[in-house]
Amino acid sequence: MSDEIFEDCGVVGIKSYKGENVVPAIYWALLTLNHRGQQSYGIVTYDKKFNVVKGLGLIADLDIERMSGWCVKLRASLGVGHVRYATSGSIDKRKLFEDAQPIIVAHEGRKVCIAYNGNIANVVPLRREIEEMGIEINGTSDAYVLAYELLLGIEDEGDLIEGVKRVLEKVDGAFSVVGITSEGEMFAFRDPHGIKPLIFGISEDEETVGIASENVALAVNGILKNRSIAPGELIVAEEDVNSYQLHNGTEALCAFEYAYFARPDSKLSNGKYVYEVRRELGRRLARRYHEVAQRVDIIVPVPQTAEDAAYGFHIETGKPIEPIIVRHRYLRHRAFIMTKREREAIVSHKYNILYDKVRGKRIALIDDSIVRGDTLKYIVHVLRRAGAKEIHVFSTFPKIISPCFYGIDMATFHELIGFNRDEEEIAKILGVDSVNYQTIRDFCEAVGTNNLCLACVTGRYPTPYAQKIADEGRKLALSGSRIRGRLVEWGG
C-alpha cells in the first residue's frame, strides 16, 4: 500500500504443559507479527503472579542482551504477548507506553490480564458506565474497557465463561482476545462476528498450546496443527484444553486482511495462503478491465503488498512487470514521534523511481488499496515527471467509502479519497488516466467466501453501534461538518 495504514495489534499466547520457558516462543511470535503493530510491545508471563515487560517501537529493534535478560526475568511456562498500533486512546508517547499491552486490571482482589486485537465501537458509553460504578480506569485505550467488562462479568457470575458471555453481549466491535486469569488459566475468544483473525494451535507432541493472530506466528515455533477460533468461541487451557461455543454468529472477517494486513504466507479462515488470494485479485482486475489492461506497456507494483497481485495481473495479460518503484527498506514511519513536516519528508524520500525505465511508457500501477491517496499522488507526480505517457491505477481492494471502527486506522469520512467521489474525480485528484477498482463481487470470489466484513466498501457494518456511528458521521460529513479526532471516540 502506498498510504501508511496500520493495523492495531497482533496477539500471542503460549502454554507449555512440559513446563518449558515460553518467553523465547513469545518473542519469535511477536517478531513474526510485527507488521500488525509497530508502536509498542509487551510480554506478561504467569507463575502464581504476573511478570510484565513493555517497550515502545519495534520488537525487531530489541537487542539480544535485553531479550536474554527478559528470558530470565519473565521465566514461566505460560505467557501472552502483544504488538500494538494505537487506534484508540492517546498517541502521546508516555501514554502509549502506559497503554502498551498486555494489560492487567484488578478489582475486589481479582485480576485479569488481556492482550487484544480490535476496537470497541461503543467504548464511550461502556467507559462511562464502568466509571459510574466508581472504578477508575487508568489507561486511555479501549483494552481497559474490555478487560473491566470481563473482570466484572467473572465477579458477578463467578466464572470465566460467564464473564466472556457478558463481553460478547455488551461489547460492540471487533475483539480477538488472549489472556490469563489470576487462577492461571490461559483463555482466548473472538467477537460474535470474528472480525479479527485468531488461530489456535497445538504442537505435534500435544505439550504446547498456542494462540496467535496469524498461524505463521505459531508455525515459527513449530506449532503446525492449527485452526481458526470460531466467532463467539472461547478456548480455555488449564489442565486440559476446552472449547465453548458461546455465540453462534456468522463470520465477518476483515476483508482488508486479505488485501493488505496479513502476511502473504499466512492462512486465514478460507484455508488459502494469502498470497494466492492476492494473485487471484490481480488476475481478476486484468480480466475485469481487459481493455485498459491490454493497453499498457508495463506493470508496476507499489511495493510491497501489491507484488503478488501484480504477478497475477502479469499471468493474465502477459505484460512484463517492471519493479521501477523501490521502497527504502530502513525508512520507518513512526507517526507518534514525528511532526507533519517530518512525515512529508519521509513520504518524499520513501520511494526511489528508476527514471530511465519510465519515459514514454504506458503504466499499469498496481496498489493493494487506496485509502487517502496522498502517497499515491506523490508517486504519480514523480512518474509523470519521469515521462510516463499514461498511468492507469488498479486497486486490488474495492473503493473505500466509509471509515473502519474495528481497528484499522481510517477513522473518519473526510480522510477517505473514495468518500462521495466517483472514479473520474479520484483519477483527477491523483493525476492518472484511469482508476480501476476491484468489484466487491470479484473480491469475494477471489477470497472464496462472502463471510467477510466489507463495511468500509459497502457502508454496512456487522454490528449495530458501529452502524449508528457511521450513519450519523456520514450525514455530518455530507453536510460539510468535519469531526476532529476519531468518529468512534466522538460517537458516544
Active-site amino acid positions: 9
Out of 454, 469, 470, 477, which residue is the one contacting ligand SF4 (CB under 6 A)? 454
Q: Cis before residue 102, ω within 30 degrees of 0?
A: yes
**Minimum distance, C-beta of residue 249 to ligand SF4, in the bound complex (Å):** 15
φ/ψ region of 104 (left if φ > 0, alpha if ψ in -120 to 50, else beta) reads: beta
C-beta closer to ligand SF4: residue 144 or 406: 406
Q: Which residue stretch of 283-291, 344-352, 435-443, 449-457 sits at the interface with ligand SF4 (rule: CB under 6 A)?
A: 449-457
The cell numbers describing 492, all together, are: 458516544
Residue 171 · residue 120 · CB < 8 Å:
yes
Name the minimum Å distance from CB 302 to ligand SF4.
18
Tell me the C-alpha distance between 19 and 43, whole Å.
18
Distance, in Å, from the CA atom of 243 to the CA atom of 159, rounded to the nearest integer, reads 15
Q: How far is the CB of 256 from ligand SF4 (least distance, A)?
A: 4
Q: Is 408 in the site for ligand SF4 (CB under 6 A)?
A: yes
What type of residue is 409?
D
Number of residues in contact with ligand SF4, rule: CB under 6 A? 11
The CB-of-261 to ligand SF4 minimum distance in angstroms stands at 8
**From 114, 167, 254, 376, residue interacting with ligand SF4 (rule: CB under 6 A):** 254
Q: Are 218 and 29 in contact (CB under 8 A)?
A: yes
Q: Which is nearer to ligand SF4, 366 or 457 (CB)?
A: 457
Is position 12 an interface residue for ligand SF4 (rule: CB under 6 A)?
no
Residue number with CB closer to ligand SF4 (366 or 488): 488
Q: Which three cell numbers stand for residue 364?
A: 499499469
CA 264 to each of CA 12, 31, 53, 151: distance values in angstroms, whole numbers, following the listed order: 19, 15, 30, 36
**Residue from the set 130, 455, 470, 477 that interacts with ligand SF4 by CB under 6 A:** 455
Nearest by Cα to 432 from 286, 304, 292, 305: 292
Stretch that binds ligand SF4, among 53-61, 252-260, 297-305, 310-318 (CB under 6 A): 252-260
Is residue 370 at the binding interface for ligand SF4, with CB under 6 A as the rule?
Answer: no
Rounded CA-CA distance 187/185 in Å is 6
Please say which residue, 298 or 408, places its beta carbon nearer to ligand SF4: 408
Cβ nearer to ligand SF4, comparing 2 with 181: 2
Q: Is 456 near ligand SF4 (CB under 6 A)?
A: yes
DSSP alpha helices (H): ranges in 33-102? 64-73, 93-99
Nearer to ligand SF4, 185 or 442 (CB): 442
State the binding string over 174-213 for ligand SF4 (x if CB under 6 A, else -).
---------------------x------------------
Shortest Cβ 178–ligand SF4 spacing (Å): 19
Q: Which residue has the cell 479520484?
A: 426
**How far apart (Å, rounded) are the C-alpha atoms in residues 396 and 275?**
12
Instruction: Give yes or no for a contact between 155 and 165, defined as CB atoms under 8 angstroms apart.
Output: no
Query: In the 8-state DSSP scheme, what is residue 409?
Result: S
Q: How far is the CB of 148 from ligand SF4 (least distance, A)?
A: 24
β-pair partners for 209: 15, 202
Q: Which residues contact ligand SF4 (rule: CB under 6 A)?
A: 195, 254-256, 404, 406, 408, 453-456
